[in-house]
Amino acid sequence: MSHLPHAIAIDGPAASGKSALAELLAARLNYFYLDTGLMYRAVTHAALARGMALQDEAAVTRLAETIQINVLPGAANAARNYVTTVDGRDVSAELHRPEVDRNVSAVSAYAGVRRAMTAQQQRIAERGNIIMAGRDIGTVVLPNAECKIFLTASVEARARRRLADRRARGQSATLEQMRAEIEQRDALDSSRSVAPLRVAEDAIVLDNSAMTLKETLTRALEIIQARAQAFA
């Protein structure tokens, strides 16, 4: 591709496959991939680990402003491609626990938490050649990104994916539980007053409900190629 985008933003609802797609794109294009959702999960996990009342917005915001969160490439032979640390401690394996899943939307809705995380994300993006996945990348974090993809899928498809992920981690769950969690997460993410989940005006919507990950990757590369040509 000629003149690859400086930054690629991938937004979308829970379990739409943003992280998996972004990782594959980063590997294919030799970009750095930042899953911004991990940063909000890290704040949520840190608050839970400290026994904080998550309803205390001021306290959770202070926590977000003071802890140091890093998302780093994992070792070549590691089980995870990326390692998330909080104040130097690897918390990667703890970020997808059910209690974090249930509370991350509420924590990420706090204006102060979002300001703290957005500032970190924008500093990282200044290096260029970056792919960010989240819910407000194209609208808030990187509004000038040359390529924006809004990845979505039906509630049913996303619930099945989340169920498979849970079972792969050895956690028990039912499809009905996953469907309810997905619907609740969608409602919270879309209705929050600060940086709600929405499609950026210049984003391309990609519905992968009936697509494999490979097919999703192929379509995303086509979108990026088209944007590269537009900016050539």
Owner of token pair 């407000």:
136
pLDDT at 89 > cutoff 70: yes
The first and second tokens of residue 108, run together, are 């990420």
Confidence category of residue 80, pLDDT binned at 50, 70, 90: low
| Of 98-107, 172-181, 222-231, minimum mean pLDDT range | 222-231
DSSP one-letter code for 136: S
What pairs with residue 73 in β-bridges? 82
Q: Length of the chain, please?
A: 232
Interstrand relation of 89-90 and 147-152 (parallel, antiparallel or unpaired): unpaired
**Each residue of 168-186: pLDDT tens digit?**
989 899 999 999 999 999 9
Residue 33's Cβ-count burial label (10 Å; 0-12, 13-18, 19+) is buried
User: How does the average pLDDT of the chain come out, rounded?
Assistant: 92
What percent of the chain lies above the pLDDT cut of 90? 79
What pairs with residue 67 in β-bridges? none
Half-sphere exposure of 114 (CA within 13 A, CB side): 20
127 in helix, strand or coil? coil
At 77 the pLDDT is 46
**Each residue of 184-225: pLDDT tens digit?**
999 989 998 888 999 999 999 999 999 999 999 999 999 999
Confidence category of residue 102, pLDDT binned at 50, 70, 90: very high
At 35 the pLDDT is 87
pLDDT at 141 > cutoff 70: yes
At 79 the pLDDT is 53
Name the pTM for this structure.
Answer: 0.83
Span 102-125, mean pLDDT?
A: 92
Rounded-to-integer distance, Cα 17 and Cα 190, Å? 18
pLDDT at 93 > cutoff 90: yes
Half-sphere exposure of 171 (CA within 13 A, CB side): 18
At 82 the pLDDT is 78
The first and second tokens of residue 207, run together, are 């519905």
Q: Where are the alpha helices (DSSP H) in the chain?
A: 18-29, 36-49, 57-66, 98-108, 111-125, 155-168, 175-191, 213-231
At 140 the pLDDT is 95
Residue 105's Cβ-count burial label (10 Å; 0-12, 13-18, 19+) is buried
At 198 the pLDDT is 95
Rounded-to-integer distance, Cα 68 and Cα 19, Å? 22
Superfamily of domain 7-231: P-loop containing nucleotide triphosphate hydrolases (3.40.50.300)
